[in-house]
Amino acid sequence: MTGVTARDVGRFRPEPWPEQITEDHLEFPHWDGLRSERLLLQRCAGCRAVQWGPEYICHRCHSFDLGYDEVSLTGTVYSWQRTWHAGTPADAEHLPYVTLVVQLTTAPRILLVGGLVGDQREPIAIGAALEGEFVHLDAYSLLLWRRA
Ligand SMILES: [Zn+2]
């Protein structure tokens, strides 16, 4: 957890479902990849398209021959939102926080939602460069994003 505080993790921890993903689950390679600090997304063996979230069929060519490939941990800000009001009392200690929509550099058709690491009050620009940062918890790992 390099440079990432518990405060950074708390608001993005998707409880409890990642613990329930077993090896036979469609999303398992993705979550297993995060554990070893690799971002793995589905790639079609037929047309080579990358897609996310995981499906049993390719969105582009309708092939069922899908696997997982590693993509780079760089991207840009496609969109963002700064939250100032807590949805629940437990969220109040994490305010404000920024939620990002990240456009991946090596798979620009993919948009990932993720949390921003670092100063949550600094200005954010659409198109700003981001780098992925892994956070390892007991049961699973998460990918957050830092300004590059
Ligand atoms: Zn395909």
How confident is the model at residue 19, as a pLDDT? Answer: 67
How confident is the model at residue 5, as a pLDDT? Answer: 60
**Distance in angstroms (rounded) separating the CA atoms of residues 111 and 71:** 13
Quick one: average pLDDT of 63-80?
97
Which residues are registered as beta bridge partners of 44? 66
105 alpha carbon – ligand 1 mean position (Å):
20
91 has pLDDT over 60: yes
Domain ranges of the chain: 6-147
DSSP string across the chain: -TT--HHHHHTT---SGGGG--TTSTTHHHHHHHHTT-EEEEEETTT--EESS--SS-TTT--S-EEEEEE-SEEEEEEEEEE-S-SSGGGGGG-SEEEEEEEESS-TT-EEEEEEES-SSS---TT-EEEEEEEE-SS-EEEEEEE-
How confident is the model at residue 36, as a pLDDT? Answer: 95
Per-residue pLDDT of 94-115, as tens digits, reads: 889 899 999 999 999 999 999 9
Per-residue pLDDT of 8-56, as tens digits, reads: 666 666 555 666 788 888 999 999 999 999 999 999 999 999 999 899 9
pTM, to two decimals: 0.86
How confident is the model at residue 34, as a pLDDT? Answer: 93
58 alpha carbon – ligand 1 mean position (Å):
5
Percent of the chain with pLDDT over 90: 68
How confident is the model at residue 87, as a pLDDT? Answer: 78
104 alpha carbon – ligand 1 mean position (Å):
19
Mean pLDDT computed over every residue of the chain: 88
47 alpha carbon – ligand 1 mean position (Å):
4
